[in-house]
Amino acid sequence: MLKIEALTVKGRLVNITCQAQAGQFVHVMGNNGSGKSSLLHAAAGLLAGQSGLIQLLGQNLSQFSPGQLAKFRCLQEQHHPLVFGLTVAEALDFFTRGQRLPSDLVNALDIAEFLQRPMQSLSGGEHKRVEIARVLLQVWPALQAGNALILLDEPTQGLDFKHQHALFRQLQMFAEGGNVVIVSHHDLNLCQRYANVVWLMDKGRLVASLPALDALSDSQLSQIFSCPIQSFAHAHGHKIFQTYLEDR
């Protein structure tokens, strides 16, 4: 579905080569400024001045019109200032393309109770859930058919634990339905629990593409994230990661 070869964007990304197949739930991890958002923006077709190749469904990204891309590719961005007092229902309605608001999506993101509230009155986590619903609505028919590319840039930012897991379970289901889901975030344990491909970024480079985080040793992870990381075996069989501050 997505193939990137020797992608370089001046000052942001350096010689990235990777691919994501249908059905994969890819987690992009790395420190702040490591190039995660730039990679997602490039894959969505929003970055100019790049060299290298990006292909979607075997076709060069530049050959798609904005309208064609919009039908199967979506991107949730990190920062979204909204200066008008739209209600949640209005904001979502603009992206339904004449369809009814799917109750599956409303329930999965738990947004039914504040559909009539103005977007500006929502908390950070509530706003984030609505934003995710909005971008998913844009590609909803493709998502149902299992041929969508979902790009989410730090979707767990501001979400409580319950909604983080609810969101990732839903995204996992989308991936199992044949879609490609690529998310960036900073939670090693969510990554270990849900990812089936992990892309590790550092200073604009893709330093590793792994089936899971535990393919790397604690010292390798500590080096990539510039922070001491220790892993423990959990009773359920998978690893739990813990970061700690060294005493000065």
Report the residue number, 9 or 135, with the smaller CB distance to other proteins. Answer: 135
Instruction: Based on the shown chain and the rule CB under 8 A, indicate whether residue 93 belongs to the binding site for other proteins.
Output: yes
Report the residue number, 93 or 214, with the smaller CB distance to other proteins. Answer: 93
Instruction: Based on the shown chain and the rule CB under 8 A, indicate whether residue 85 belongs to the binding site for other proteins.
Output: yes
Instruction: Based on the shown chain and the rule CB under 8 A, indicate whether residue 66 belongs to the binding site for other proteins.
Output: yes
Report the residue number, 39 or 191, with the smaller CB distance to other proteins. Answer: 39
Within residues 138-167, the interface with other proteins by CB under 8 A covers: 138
Nearest to 191 by CA among 211, 162, 217, 220: 211
Binds other proteins by CB under 8 A, chosen from 84, 161, 232, 244:
84
Cβ-contact 167, 132 below 8 angstroms: yes
Report the residue number, 91 or 167, with the smaller CB distance to other proteins. Answer: 91
Instruction: Based on the shown chain and the rule CB under 8 A, indicate whether residue 218 belongs to the binding site for other proteins.
Output: no
DSSP state letter for 7: E
- 12: amino acid identity, one letter: R
> Is residue 25 within a helix (H) or strand (E), and if so which, with residue range?
strand 25-30
Cβ-contact 44, 35 below 8 angstroms: no
Within residues 120-139, the interface with other proteins by CB under 8 A covers: 120, 134-135, 138
Strands 59-60 and 50-56: antiparallel
Smallest distance from other proteins to CB 138, Å: 6
Cβ-contact 190, 25 below 8 angstroms: no
Instruction: Based on the shown chain and the rule CB under 8 A, indicate whether residue 21 belongs to the binding site for other proteins.
Output: no
Binds other proteins by CB under 8 A, chosen from 16, 74, 105, 171:
74
Binds other proteins by CB under 8 A, chosen from 14, 24, 77, 228:
77
Three-state SS letters, 154-216: CCCCCCCHHHHHHHHHHHHHHHHCCCEEEEECCCHHHHHHHCCEEEEEECCEEEEEECCHHHC
Chain residues that interact with other proteins, rule: CB under 8 A: 44, 46, 65-67, 69-71, 73-75, 77, 80-87, 90-91, 93-95, 120, 134-135, 138
